[in-house]
């Protein structure tokens, strides 16, 4: 059990979502945010950094969106399904864009391959949670 799951299980009111799916999504978002930040930093350390400008920008956008979404999903008081839906949709779009961009560089840069995988996993977690909300 992750700390995220443990925290959700201690919540004093009904959450209205499956604790495990919500926790898995929050954890995937946090991991993706960290991975994208690390990938952007690694791209900046590459000799061919000029060719990775779009990758860096996409990584940083995805990291910021995923980090914000993890925080929003962690707050259950005043839960607004419309906001949650929009946040998850934004994450799906950001993860798709970042995963696609990192995939373009994955054969040359291991950090991009790892980041693309993290983005895909996060995208799937967001889609799975979104499907349970419908």
Q: What tens digit of pLDDT does each residue of 19-65 get?
A: 899 999 999 999 999 999 999 999 999 999 999 999 999 999 999 99
118 has pLDDT over 90: yes
Residues 6+ apart with CB under 8 A from 132: 17, 18, 21
pLDDT of residue 79: 77
With the CA atoms of 36, 42, 45 and 50 taken in that order, what torsion angle do they form, in degrees rounded to the nearest 10? Answer: -50
Task: Answer whether 109's CB lies under 8 Å from 46's CB.
Answer: yes
pLDDT of residue 86: 96
Q: Which domains does the chain have, with CATH numbers?
A: 20-133 (1.20.1270.360)
Burial class (CB in 10 A: 0-12, 13-18, 19+), 52: buried
pTM score, two decimals? Answer: 0.94
């Amino acid at each position: 059990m992750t700390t995220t799951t443990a925290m959700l299980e201690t919540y004093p009111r009904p959450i209205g979502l499956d604790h495990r799916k919500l926790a898995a999504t929050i954890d995937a978002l946090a991991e993706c945010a960290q991975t994208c930040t690390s990938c952007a930093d690694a791209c900046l350390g590459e000799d061919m950094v000029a060719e990775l400008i779009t990758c860096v920008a996409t990584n940083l956008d995805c990291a910021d969106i995923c980090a914000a979404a993890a925080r929003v999903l962690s707050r259950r008081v005043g839960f607004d399904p419309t906001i949650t839906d929009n946040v998850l949709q934004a994450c799906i779009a950001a993860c798709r864009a970042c995963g696609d961009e990192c995939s373009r560089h994955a054969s040359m840069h291991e950090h991009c391959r790892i980041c693309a995988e993290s983005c895909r996993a996060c995208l799937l977690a967001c889609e799975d949670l979104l499907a349970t909300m419908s």
